[in-house]
Amino acid sequence: MDEISLLKKRTSAEALHNMTRNEDTNPPTSKLKRSFSLKRDLIRNKHVKSGDVEDARLKLSMLRKPSSWNKVLGKMLQKMSYLGLQQDKSNLCSKYDAYVSRSSTDIYNDNNYQTPKILSGDKVPGVVGLRNQGNTCFINAVLQCLSHTDVLARYFVMDQYKMDLTRRNKLNSKKYGTRGEMTEQLALLLKSIWLCKYDPDMSNQFKTIVDKYGTQYRGNNQHDAQEFLLWLLDKVHEDLNIATKKKYKTIRNTFGRPDEQVAAETLANHIRCNESFIHDVFQAQFKSSLTCPRCMRQSNTFDPFLCISIPVPQCYSMPVFITVIYTSQQPRDVKLGLSLPVDSSIAEFRELLWSYTGIFQEHMLITEITDIGFNRTFCDSMPASMIKESDPLYCLELPKLNDCSNESGPYLLLCWVNILVVEDQCSRFGSAYTMQICRETSYKDLQKLLLKEMAVMLHDDILTTDQEIPLFGIRLADASDLPQYLDPTVELPLFTDPIDQALAMSGDQPHVKLILEWNLHAKEATIADHCDQVEEHASVKQLKLNSEKGTSITLEQCFDLYTKEEVLGPENAWHCPQCNLKQEVVKKLGLWTLPDILVVHLKRFRQSLSLPSSRQHNNRQPTKLSVLVDFPLFSFDMTPHLAIGRDVRVPLKPLASRRLSSIQDRNLYDLYAVCNHHGSDPHSGHYTAFCKNPYDKQWYSFDDTKVTPIPDTSLVTTSAYMLFYQRRDMILNNSDHWATRLHAHISNSHSVGQIVDNIEHNNDDIAELSDSPSSHTISRSSTVENDMVFSRPSSPMVNGRRPSDLCLDDTEKNFKKLLHNAKESCI
């Protein structure tokens, strides 16, 4: 094909693309752009079928060219949360009304919407579980959240990333990124999910690429999901980064200059080196302010972010419920409710228990007892934050220890519980018991002493008659991973190696925990009453009432804590250029701009200092804050958390269309995914995801390969770790989701040339490049395809100006000028 014919085809394709998106009329500023005019009714040509137009629009997304500074500046303006307005839907062709977001009432209360059928059977596009390749649940949870990020999924599944990847490869992909391997593997995986053609080997291949470029992820260890998300986005960004500059320019003399000017220069300096679809969608700007208390001058810095990590307000006290089992006091079992400082230790917990019970601290054994036996035993050096409100916690009063040099031989401290074993089912009955016994005791005498200690629940004649040996199995709880039982044929069973192993693992207080395993016949013949009567102290009811009043916080409170002013101490003093002195300044963080996809990371893990012990050095251990954070599902307004003053975000002026959303509405976000962490440690536990499918608008729970529908009333839990929000005006119309064209895109990839030929044949006036008033001036500088939602859609023109321009006050108009100045300084 000769050059003129190729130019015509590209001209026609660009015309189709730009007419459906009402693109900007700014003149080109790059040698790589072309401008020409087309009639308004080009897209309505009767010879072009609507289905062909759709296919053409999909393929034309591959015709992107290098972006210009006009595009970059446009993105800067569009990213500013107080600039721009939603596109006027009334000016668009009815064919493409599906791409304009509806009001919240339309989106969430569309009872008449019928999901189109594009897959055979009952399969829903995007609703597919992922195989766990060995502690890769953190990868699976992140991938499910990204797969349900509608704009990102469309970008990869519809092959819109390939042009950016090709351009990046032509630049210098060998030095940066993964040479496209990570991006291609991610795209392949997302396609398999949305086509419901997933194979477990795809997860294995993805993990192989992750291991290749992320050495920290090699092996089968668990990792933090938020760290992996940022790592993955960074690698894909490097693969798709089409910026031509690699070195940042130094921005000088920011002190005392207007915020808008410094922010514009910082953003322009960043974009000149970092420009990719990932940053278009996820990135925005922080604002960090340092205020000198003496001269009140501010120094402001602006930094980009892909994810906001906000602190979770810490409760200064934690509720702990514990059952105390006395040796001789009645009632024997008493449940207490105690309020414990979150930064206290188990040693301090013992001291608090002593004040309630009168049991000396050296006579306390604090342990967990479940339905099948003993679990954790707590030492003095452990932080009390390891205890959760729902843990089955017990404090066993230990008998007074005899002198180990007693004539009858060395003594051993025993603790035990009773378990009924029926086939493979185990269930605990009765209370827990403690006893001190001489190690030089035979198995027969040991059984008698254990029964004597439990006399209160035995039949009357049990202690006066001989019982079979063994009457029950005696299993050691702490001996090893494999079950270890005392051998009835051994003369002195308490002098065996398993007993020594259990003693070595017992912690601060040497003891041996036993589990007495009964069969049903022996239990019925021996045990008369095993009811475990536990008296509940008044402190339990009071603590529950207090906990219910303050067990949850809101996401807004987390953001308020994040943006709260903080006075830096002398060790972090800042040198004020105005005063020429080091000052203890006031630091404040805020959000300068907002992204289209807002990822909120709840900082649930904090480092707690373990107390020193004879066997342990000082070290910090991560503990999890399991407080319930109540986050909104719809209409989360980020306006109060912006660093820009409210006077800058002007209300809509009457000149703008009544159907355009207000400036404040553009800061509304709707939840579409939640990444959950279950467990107490960031490098252990388990990750799952709740995701709202953008195709059928239903919520699903993703637990590796297990996928189940979930009501939105079950989304807010104490396990929520990362929240994924999308800007309200990005939500697409249900009736024409891009997934409905997915199979046509794959099977009819050759049709774009035919569509362009038809458009060229039926619109000969394209070549005339008319400048008549009835034509639009279309610039190739924009790279916003019809099947791609970039940072912000353009607004329609009103008398040659945008409605957003009509709403600008002097501050905002000055900011536009500052962006142009920033462009000149960064070239």
Name the residues annotated as catalytic. 137, 686
Nearest residue to 326 via CA among 535, 509, 516: 535
Q: What are phi and psi of 166, to 5 degrees?
A: -65, -45
Q: Quote the DSSP letter at residue 501.
A: H
Q: CB–CB of 616/381 below 8 Å?
A: yes
Count Cβ neighbours within 10 Å for each residue of 465-474 and write b for 16 or more, e otherwise: eebeebbbbb
Longest CA pairwise span in the chain (Å): 115
Q: Which two structure tokens, joined as six digits, stand for 780?
A: 């190739």
Structure tokens at 622: 């991560």
Write down the residue that tokens 């991006």 correspond to.
Answer: 183
Contact 696, 126 (CB under 8 A): no
Q: Is the Cα dihedral 706, 708, 713, 715 positive or negative?
A: positive
Q: What tokens does 132 get?
A: 């766990």
Q: 472: helix, coil or strand?
A: coil
- Report cis status (omega within 30 of 0) of the bond before 470: yes
Q: Strand runs (DSSP E) across 228-297, as ranges?
A: 284-291
606, β-bridge pairs: 623
CB 409 within 8 A of CB 456: no
Query: What does the DSSP assignment read for 613-671?
Result: BTTB---EEEEE---EEE--SS-EE-GGGBSS-TTTSPPPPTTS-TTSPPTGGGGEEEE
Residue with tokens 């939105």: 712
For residue 729, give every residue at least 6 positions away whose Cβ sits within 8 Å of its Cβ, in sequence order, or none: 86, 101, 661, 665, 666, 793
The residue assigned the tokens 């009645």 is 330
The two beta strands, 512-518 and 411-422, are: parallel
Q: Measured between alpha carbons, how far is 712 from 718 in angstroms, rounded to an integer?
A: 15
Cβ atoms of 303 and 288 within 8 Å: the answer is: yes
Tokens 């986050």, residue?
631
Q: What phi and psi values does residue 487 have, to the nearest 5 degrees?
A: -85, 120
Is residue 26 within 8 Å of 70, Cβ to Cβ? yes
Long-range contacts of 398-407 (CB under 8 A, 24+ apart): 398/327, 398/363, 398/364, 398/365, 398/434, 398/509, 398/511, 399/327, 399/363, 399/434, 399/435, 399/436, 400/363, 401/436, 402/436, 406/438
Type of residue numbered 328: S
Task: Record the tokens describing residue 674, joined without a space.
Answer: 């939640």
Structure tokens, 465: 């008659």
Q: What is the DSSP letter of 25?
A: -
Report DSSP letters for 703-727, one per residue: ETTEEEE--GGG---TTEEEEEEEE
At residue 551's C-alpha, the angle toward residues 547 and 556, to 5°, is 155
CA distance 195 to 173: 30
Angle at 247 between CA 245 and CA 252, to 5 degrees: 120
Provide CB contacts within 8 A for 225, sequence distance 6+: 138, 141, 142, 675, 677, 687, 721, 722
